[in-house]
Structure 1
Amino acid sequence: MVRILVPAALAAAMLSLPAAAQERSIYDDVKLEVIPETHGVAPYPNELVLLRIRGVYRPLVNISHMIQPSLANFGWTNLTRDTATDAEFDGFPAKAFERTLAVFPEKTGDLVIDSFVHKLTVVDGDGYRDINVKSPPITIKVATWQGPGGPKDPNQWWLPSSDVRITDQWSGDPNRVPRGETVRRTVTIEADGVTAEQLPPSPLMRSPGIISFRGPIDRETRVTETGPVARAVYRWDMRPTTAHPAIVEPIDIPWFDTKARTLRKAVIPAQRMAWAAVDAAGAPAVAKADEKPSAAALSGAGALAFLIGLGVLLVGREASSGLPKLPPRALLALRWAALRRDVAGVRAAVTRLARDEPGPATRWTGDPAVRAALAELDRHLFDASGSPAPDLGRLARTVRKARSRALLASRSKASGLAPLDGPYRGA
């Protein structure tokens, strides 16, 4: 009687066990885990963290599908295709699965990544069986930045990267810019461990004596096994605005070195810019074919040409005859270009006038009216938005008046020498 009751009790106990306990077999030889690569330090917000999702399965897998959690509080991108390789599980042959994600924590604190679920269809005898393999949830501790220059600093761009590289290229020689033309500056920034959206916006290329117009920006992200690599290309069309050489100031690009755990700076280098030398004649540009001067302008131009010829005849006698000094050629060229409505000629004449008279030019080029007029002229010449042409006659008059005031101010300075015809104050 006892022998009959014992097998019956064992059968009843087996029926009362949960289904998972009854199914303990080769199907329990499965494992899925998520391993964050933080290299033993707590990352800062927006810093790259590689997630390695690894599974090892002893059953023969026929169909697999990975269900990814929402990854709340993280930005992410998939880096590589899923890989399957041969492995061992407790000494038995098995298959290994791996997927790599790049995640970027978006805030500080303890951020939880929920379970990944791998849905598998495995071979079971002469049929198939569905099983779900879950990874344990993990927590990533994201550090809070201490001090200035961190992720929340409104005055500095936050760029956490393992390496930042800058290249600087010019379409022509910035030390010899042709008169009235621009050269294009192209700066390329590459950074490892970030996406293109994390690179800074186009810097402001502003320096005294330089005018620049921002060009198109290209951004791209290249995916590698070790993380994303971002690239941004910035462009500017630039030219000098004074007769004297000017310096384009260097620009610092701050970034956080994720390997050394310290702030660094990548530098867009300084560059000297200057106009190219003009020929000895210094002839202004030819008038455009569709700009026909009026009869009054032609009459005035004829009179001006007569005066120029007379000045050439008298220039050799100027020192001995006591005649007043003739106006410089650049000033005459400015009037002539304004009469012909030659916008480029006016700009070239103003530049040459400032170069020929460096002393007074330091005064009249800084005049607010002159600066505003030249800025309007440069916008028409070089801005792609198509600004209207300014009043060239008014611009020429503004320059002449400012130059006259500058000459008068320079002559009114008291001389350091004693007067020749005053009373002698010797002992």
Structure 2
Amino acid sequence: MVIRVLFLLLLAALPVRADSLRLVVPDMRPVVGEMIPVTIRGEYTGPITLEKMTFPDSPAYDWMQTARDRWADERVDGKLYRVFERRIAVFPRQPGTLTIGPVTHRLTKAEGTTRPVVEVAAQPVTRAVAAYPGSGRSLASGRVTVRDEFSTDPSRLGPSESFTRRITLTAEGSMAHFLPPRPLIREPWLISFAAPEIRETRLTPQGPVAVAVWEWSLRPHTGEVGSLTPIQFPWFNTQVREMRGAVTLPVEIGIAGFGDNIGGTANSLRRMVLQAAACALAGLVLGLGAALAGRTPAPRRLIGRLRRLLPNTKARALRDAAKAGDLMALRAAAEAFVMAEARLGRRTDPAPLRALDEALFRAGPAGEFDRRDFLRRMMRRQRGTTDPDRALADHRGW
């Protein structure tokens, strides 16, 4: 009995834990524009009737609340508390030391017939912010995707026919104003009308997502075949901590049948002759091999072998891009070449494409990249076969 009384006296003598509020910020060194997740956590005693909290604005950062406030009863060190959590995303605007807070939570409590007002403060937290490693707007994200859509095939338009091009750019963990401005699509042979831009930040269960949608109505007015160059969207990948880029493919625009009737007849005829000769030679070689082996290959295997002997129709565009020296155009031509190789069932080495990506999205002069060696490695045939989906996945892993 005496021991119990002493224990109760000891508990009464211990200081009562007061209400507390703190900022929970991960240990990180973000770059300008990178999202810093902040959780404001309060642990309170007693019934609360009213509450008010205002997160402080600052010229050093942008911020937004990413989820509804959470209230729950939880035990902390064996004692029951009323727990409050608010989730905030902070985006630094400039390099240097970033200070978040202080934050004050104003509470109205119920104590019998009185309603005392209590203010609980969270101490500020600082983080070192690095400069954005790229140029332009500070787009830092864990994942960026670009979708390029067309209302019809732009390479086979009818006379005076228009088509719609829509580019949708999304960046997870970012805000809409960090996305780049609308790309310019201007060619002397093309009539272009731009629709109003859609730019917004959408809240998802995983956090904010920045979305920009650009749409154009396009129509060639000269009848000649033209091409729109690839569009590059540089961004900082917060997972690998390196600059990356989202790139659209080149767009061929022309009137159906125009090239065949005017300047494209000779080139088309030569291409058809070369492909027919390749098919004939492939059939002769395979037939001779099968006759010597005393058996006939299965039709599916025979078709696959024939297809792998066909020339890549994107090889010339790849050579032209390598000769021109524009690395962005070379990147798009290389991806088109890889896709064509995959459709023919042939493998390509992913290493030169990764080297090109590093030259594109890391700081350094473009002249340092060896385009001749890149072209030689891309044209080199790899042993074995592969399916198109797997081949494209190998090259799009960046």
- TM-score over 0.5 for the pair: yes
Does the alignment pair 1:94 with 2:81? yes
Task: For 1:183-198, list aligned pairs within 5 A.
Answer: 183-198=163-178
The equivalent of 1:314 in structure 2 is: none
CA distance in 2, matches of 1:358, 1:101: 59
> What SS does structure 2 have at the residue aligned with 1:197?
helix
Shift of 1:122: 2.1
Give the conservation status (yes or no) of the 8 Å contact 1:209–1:240. yes
Once the two structures are TM-superposed, the CA of residue 257 in structure 1 deviates from its matched residue by: 0.5
- Cα deviation 1:47-96 (Å, max 9, x = unaligned): 11111100011222222222433334111112222110111133111111
> Does the Cα contact within 8 Å between 2:49 and 2:110 map onto a contact in 1?
yes
> SS in structure 2 opposite 1:180?
coil
**2: distance between equivalents of 1:357 and 1:64?**
76
Pairwise CA distance, 1:213: 3.2
1:205/1:67 CA distance change after superposition, 3 Å: closer
> Which of 222, 225, 236 is residue 216 of structure 2 equivalent to?
236
Deviation string for 1:202-221 (max 9, x for gaps)?
Answer: 11224575443333211121
Is 1:138 paired with 2:125? yes
1:329-373 superposed Cα distances (whole Å, 9 cap, x missing partner): xxxxxxxxxxxxxxxxxxxxxxx9x954789xxxxxxxxxxxxxx
Give distance in 2, aligned partners of 1:182 and 1:262.
Answer: 40
TM-score of the superposition, structure 1-length normalised? Answer: 0.54
Specify which of 28, 31, 36 is matched with residue 20 of structure 2.
Answer: 31
Q: Which runs of 5+ in 2 are unaligned?
A: 1-13, 266-398
For residues 226 and 20 of structure 2, the distance between their equivalents in structure 1, rounded to whole angstroms, comes to 66
* Equivalenced residues, count: 252
| 1:104-161 superposed Cα distances (whole Å, 9 cap, x missing partner) | 111111122232111122233553332211111111211134xxx52xx3xx443111
Counterpart Cα distance in 2 of 1:358 and 1:89? 78
Query: Paired residue for 1:80?
Result: 67
CA 144–277 in structure 1, closer or farther in 2 if over 3 Å, else same? closer
Q: Does 2:147 correspond to 1:173?
A: no
Q: Which residue of 2 aligns with 1:123?
A: 110
SS in 2 for 1:205: coil
Amino acid of the structure 2 residue aligned with 1:107: Q
Q: Quote the Cα distance in structure 1 between the aligned partners of 2:263 and 2:32.
A: 57
**CA–CA distance in structure 2, aligned partners of residues 225 and 53 of structure 1:** 18
Q: How does 1:3-402 map to 2 (within 5 A)?
A: 26=16, 28-37=17-26, 40-145=27-132, 150=134, 153=135, 156-206=136-186, 210-277=190-257, 356=262
Q: Contact between 2:160 and 2:220, CA under 8 Å: does it hold in 1?
A: no
Larger-Rg structure: 1
SS at match of 2:177: helix
Closer, same or farther: CA 95–209 of 1 in aligned 2, 3 Å: same
Give the partner amino acid of 1:127. T
Three-state SS of the structure 2 residue aligned to 1:32 is strand
- Specify whether residues 116 and 157 from structure 1 end up closer, same or farther in structure 2 by C-alpha distance, changes over 3 A only: closer
Q: Which residues of structure 1 form unaligned runs of 5+?
A: 1-23, 279-351, 360-427
Q: 1:386-424 CA distances to partner (integer Å, 9 max, x unpaired)?
A: xxxxxxxxxxxxxxxxxxxxxxxxxxxxxxxxxxxxxxx
Q: State how far apart, in whole Å, the 2-side matches of 1:276 and 1:169 are.
A: 19
User: Following TM superposition, by how much is the alpha carbon of 1:243 offset from its aligned partner in structure 2, in angstroms?
Assistant: 4.2
SS of residue paired to 1:70: coil
TM-score (norm 2): 0.58
How far, CA to CA, are the matches of 1:95 and 1:72 in structure 2? Answer: 33
1:177 offset after TM fit, Å?
1.0
Q: Separation in 1 of the partners of 2:200 and 2:85?
A: 26
Return closer, same or farther for 1:121/1:157 CA change in 2, 3 Å cut-off.
Answer: closer
- Tell me, what secondary structure is at the counterpart of 1:127? coil
